[in-house]
Amino acid sequence: MSEINYKTTASAVKTVLIYTALILMAFIMLIPFAWMISASLKLEKDVFSFPIVWVPSDPQWNNYLEIWNKVPLLTGFINTAKLTMFTTILQLLTSSFAAYAFAKLEFKGRDTLFMLYVMTISIPWQVYMVPQYKLMTWFGLTDSHLGLILMHAFTAMGVFLMRQFFVSIPNELLEAARIDGLSEYGIWQKLMLPLSKPAIATLCITSFTFEWNDFMGPLIYLSSQKKKTIQLMLRMFNTQYSSNYAQIMAAATVALIPVLILFVFLQRYFVEGVASSGIKG
């Protein structure tokens, strides 16, 4: 009797401890965002007042209206959305296509080609950004969205991820499908894709977060005002209106909202996708 009691109290204490730790961590993760939103609703002079007033008594919603006039944030949103969408779709299609061949078909030069892909994964972009830039100017693809899309759509990482997942799908399934008269394209479409939803989710998420938050790529490649992405707009806002913290925070909040909304709706897929990427060593 007493032992059971002891056990239940012990586990209760443990649960409390776990919750305390988690709540503390969640707190640390959230405080910057809370401060950002709170500051975005304040008068400039109150932003740094201490102790922190978390809920301003007189919220300055105006901050959110004024930022749109100062920097064309909306253009930035549209451009980023466009870039993100096309890159993700193109990457998904071509990567899964190539990955199928690498994983399930036999042909001359397969392993050599795959090695080529794998080798480039760990090469940082800095290594080749200069020649890449030169090449893009040669194609007339600087200051163009298409240029960025093409550069980011054919990544080795994408092929690698999909290939690793495809390999784990049993060959017997494929053989059965072949006997049923399905072509390789049919197998890719009807068998592989539906079976590899987690991998597809991973790739989508990696591609989405990369493209949406990419700063250096657009910084170097995009020059026209009307082509710039939300990150560049945000950065421009931060440097041009550097003394106006309240509005900087408002702009930052606005830039985070689309990602937040998407995340709230798709968080299960986000998490599943990320989780599946790490199971294999």
Partner 1 sequence: MSKDNSQIKKTKPLARKKTLVAYSFILPNLIGFLIFTFIPIVFSLLLSFCEWDSGNPIKFVGLKNFIVMFTKDSSFWIALKNTLYYTIVTVPVTMAFALFLAILMNKPLKGRVFFRSVLFFPYIASLVAVAVVWMALFNPDRGPVNSLLLAVGITNPPRWAASTTWAMPTIIGLTVWKGMGYYMIVYLAALQGVSAELYEAASLDGANKWKQFLHITWPSVTPTTFFILMMLMVSTFKSYDTMYITTQGGPGEATKVLAYHIYNSAFVSSKFGYASAVAMVLFGIIMVVTLIQFKGEKKFTSYL
Partner 2 sequence: MKKRRLLAGLLAAVMAVGMITGCSGGSSTSSGKSGGNEKVTIKVALWDYSNTKYYKTMFDAFTAKYPDITVEPVEFAADEYDNTITTQLGGKQDFDVVFTKGTPALSALIAQGHVLALDDFIAKDTSFNKDNYLGLIDQLQMDGKTYGVPFRKDNNLIFYNKDLFDKAGVPYPQDGMTMKEYHELAAKMTSGTGNDKVYGAHVHTWPSNVYNYARRTESFDQLNKDTYMNLKPYYEEILAMQDEGLIQDYGALKSSNIHYSGVFYNQQAAMLQIGTWFINMCLENVKDFNWGCCSVPNEEGMGNTNAVGGVTPIAIGAYAKHPEEAWKFITTVCGEEGAELLANTGIVPGYNSDKINGIFDAIPEKYPNAPEKLSNYINVEKYVIEQRMSKKTKDIDTIFQEQHSAIMTKSVTIDEGLKKLIERVSEVEAQ
* Binding partner of 59, given partner 1, partner 2, none, CB within 5-8 angstroms per partner class: none
Residue 22 in tokens: 């988690």
DSSP class of residue 224?
Answer: S
Contact status: 85 vs partner 2 (CB under 8 A): no
* Binding partner of 65, given partner 1, partner 2, none, CB within 5-8 angstroms per partner class: none
Nearer to partner 2, 110 or 226 (CB): 226
* Binding partner of 179, given partner 2, partner 1, none, CB within 5-8 angstroms per partner class: none
Contact status: 142 vs partner 2 (CB under 8 A): yes
Q: Give, to the nearest 10 degrees, the angle between helix 245-279 and helix 73-104.
A: 10
Nearer to partner 1, 52 or 65 (CB): 52
Q: Minimal distance in Å, beta carbon 61 to partner 1?
A: 19
Nearer to partner 2, 5 or 224 (CB): 224
Which positions from 187 to 206 touch partner 2 by CB under 8 A, shown as an x/- string?
--x-----------------
Q: Minimal distance in Å, beta carbon 78 to partner 1?
A: 16
Half-sphere exposure of 114 (CA within 13 A, CB side): 20
DSSP class of residue 226?
Answer: G
Residues whose CB is less than 8 angstroms from the CB of residue 80 and which lie 6 or more positions away in sequence, other chains included:
211, 212, 229, 230, 231
* Binding partner of 265, given partner 1, partner 2, none, CB within 5-8 angstroms per partner class: none
Query: Using CB atoms within 10 A of its CB, is residue 66 exposed (0-12), middle (13-18) or buried (19+)?
Result: middle
219 CA to centre of own chain: 18
Nearer to partner 1, 134 or 226 (CB): 134
| CB 162 within 8 Å of CB 199 | yes
C-alpha distances (whole Å) from 260 to each of 83, 89, 263 are 18, 21, 5
Binding site for partner 2 (CB under 8 A): 45, 49, 70, 72, 93, 133-134, 136-137, 139-144, 146, 183, 185-186, 189, 219-220, 223-225, 232, 235-236, 238-240, 242-245
